[in-house]
Chains A and B, each alone.
Chain A
């Protein structure tokens, strides 16, 4: 089994401590949701893991050979931007292979792009300009861009924000299937606790710059933990299908 170990990871911006004493382990084949209030450091945690910002502490990737994380191991998908690029869908996915691209694109690289476009059922959009796509289609393309390099660690920052219900399910199903079928470590930031309950093998709850809880949905999505973290009174129930549903009632 591949693991990603965070040992005493911290991030500060000037005197502002955003994250401290973050020590935990992520396992391959698992989806981990990072939840918590706005501005609590969820995206910062993802960026710290993804080498996008400076941090303290150590992060060790162990795939049978314990070592520091390399950029090639990771695909980090930032929050969906309103980019108006005229790149086609094919080219958007192709630049996911940026580190290996030379002037001439190889047949293997073309095959990698068409393969992932096929997996995500968007091959038919290949020649469309990215700016002409709907929000849901754009997110699928950005996901394809992240997957084309076959990362061992997939970091998704609010992958379902601004998407309709159908596309939320499509994106999360794809991420889960990829995580399980390719045995990768997927960590995603999400605000929708119901999505976190449904699509997570484990959940991290951030509060006061630290990990308040890390465990299964049943262990973390408990009213006393969530009410303290969100300052909201809420109801938690289990549906007939076995999913936890969290309904906010009122601010505390």
Chain B
């Protein structure tokens, strides 16, 4: 009897979480369709669906707009949002602090500085500019992660130390980026400045492929650590007592979060708050079992980015406001509301 009750209890817990994940996936599909419909020229939903089924070789105007312009932007939006959501849930878990995110820990500014350096120097790999930008973004984001990890390790991995080290890194790399802009020609300075806005207009099928591949690799990688990460949400001591090598898990998660952030930043620029707010919303709805929290954070990251993209198109009139501006404008009040409502902030 007790066993059957226990199985029923467990099923009740996981069923609720699965429903949230499936519900948010349905929401994602709806927002994808909305994002494809909305733009300087509105495309009716029937035409969007027909164009998608007809493939990229159609000869209508809608085909050209959807397949060449909007789909790369929409998919970039999905993968960048998902990457930031995944990176966010990883760093929030390993720091055991809901204030942690790629943005607040300085990973984003490290990656942005790497990208700015590539723009400033014209750095490329095998003549491919985007590859040079992505690699430098990862090197600097990874450097920030390593620095935070080393400082944290010296101070007994106190979460306060990790967060403070991240904030210091953030200021440092923002200052370095400003120095680059100051030293650069007007044209390059303008290019670097536009990078800090986070704009989807730089999307292409290349950005879709690269950010998508990084997301898939990092998502598969993290599945090996779901229970260790779940244990880490209880406390450092508790996780260690359960046999978790907390230092090793932290380092791996920091590095994969750096890769995800670099993949996102090197194509569309700095996007704040998605990595902070998406895991937070997901946690409120599905709890801390990482088997559900990670997929939910990924989906919520995509949802937030798509919502920001749609908003940017709607309020921008004929042009598209950089999506990074929208995420920050929406993210700040959203974070404030979460801060007021959530017990963990007490």
Contacts and interface: CB of A to CB of B under 8 A. Distances in A.
Contact of A90 (B2, B13, B241, B243): B13
A216 interface: no
Contacts of A91: 13, 230, 287-289
Interface residues of A, number: 41
A81 B230 contact: no
A96 B240 contact: no
Interface stretch (B3-11, B115-123, B258-266, B303-311): B3-11
Interface in B210-257: 223, 226-228, 230-231, 233-235, 237-238, 240-244
Nearest to B284: A86
A99 interface: yes
Contact of B234 (A76, A83, A110): A83
B3 A95 contact: no
B242 A95 contact: yes
Contacts, number: 107
B240 to A, nearest CB: 6
Given A52-B241, A127-B12, A127-B13, A86 B283 contact: yes
A107 B7 CA distance: 7
A148 B121 CA distance: 58
Dominant secondary structure at the B interface: helix
Interface string B99-118: 00000000000000000000
Interface size, B (range): 20 to 34
Contacts of A215: none
B104 to A, nearest CB: 19
Interface in A57-79: 71, 75-79
Contacts of B346: 84
Contact of B6 (A50, A78, A86, A111): A111
Given A87-B287, A103-B291, A98 B3 contact: no
B237 A78 contact: yes
B10 A84 contact: no
Contacts of A248: none
Contacts of B288: 85-87, 91
Contacts of B238: 78, 81, 83, 142, 145
Interface of A: 50, 52, 71, 75-79, 81, 83-88, 90-92, 95-96, 98-99, 101, 103, 105, 107, 110-111, 113-115, 117-118, 123, 126-127, 129-131, 142, 145
Interface of B: 2-3, 5-7, 9-10, 12-13, 223, 226-228, 230-231, 233-235, 237-238, 240-244, 283, 287-289, 291, 343-344, 346
